[in-house]
Amino acid sequence: MTKALETLVDPIIETMLAAGRVVMEVYHSDFEVFGKADASPVTEADRRGEEVIQAALEKIAPEIPMVGEEAKSEGKCPDISGGTFWLVDPLDGTKEFIKKGQDFTVNIGLIKDGKPIMGFVLAPAMGKLYWGIVGQGAWIADAHGDHISGKRAITTRKADPDNLVIVASKSHRSPDLEAWLNHFPAAEHVSIGSSLKFCLLATGEADLYPRLGPTCEWDTAAAHAVLLAAGGEVDAPDGTPLSYGKDLRTFLNPWFLCRADTSFSVPPLEG
């Protein structure tokens, strides 16, 4: 990378807002739903949002290749052997989007040597933007169409074993997840869609997010960076940090566990 991360923030925020406007234009229309090869749903918002982001990133940092969910689903993937690349999910939470829910997000994450170093997460229907630079801090702001306001720093909180809040997926519950949650019978459970699960930990509203189900790297990279920048961590089942660029064919993640308080001990994930 030849540019300091700080210099990328403002143009990427502009890009996030532009993509968010496109996504919301589709949201308020009578849009069609298509199926990918893996049977997951995709809409015009996914495709148009990724086009906006790719065009912008090619101008902002032309030296950094971009792996986009929609392009990859069509068999297109750039050479990322240099170790630094963008991971983009233009619409995470497509099922929520289709149901006209609010918890879907636009995501841009920057990876260097397998680690997320910067990320941006926009929830356009909620009017919230989260971003973070690992080692420098994380922030949230209100997003209003073409501008943001009310920028404030966010940090994770210390876990209180007697008052835990655990975030779980709305659409991916499983016997394995339920068995792990049984370790914390008194915990409060919060369900929310998309990468916003990470953001609840980053803002100090929750403590744990176990994911015992399938995700791809573009689903997690941006929000992972926000959580790391806010003071949390994301680990694979073996206890090592969740990494990126693991499998260039599928970009699949293993199960993982997010913790807001890195000193809080929990049972390992099995699998």
Contact 129, 144 (CB under 8 A): no
Parts of the chain with a pLDDT under 50: 2
Rounded to an integer, what distance in angstroms lies between the CA atom of residue 199 and that of residue 90?
17
**Among all chains, which residue has been given the structure tokens 């995700």?**
215
pLDDT digits (tens, 9 = 90+) for 185-231: 999 999 998 999 999 999 999 999 999 999 999 999 999 999 999 99
pLDDT digits (tens, 9 = 90+) for 18-43: 999 999 999 999 887 776 655 577 78
Rounded to an integer, what distance in angstroms lies between the CA atom of residue 249 and that of residue 217?
12
Domains of the chain: 5-154 (3.30.540.10), 165-259 (3.40.190.80)
pLDDT at residue number 170 = 60
For all residues of the chain together, what is the average pLDDT?
A: 93
pTM (predicted TM-score): 0.95
Contact 140, 83 (CB under 8 A): no
Half-sphere exposure of 97 (CA within 13 A, CB side): 29
pLDDT at residue number 32 = 79
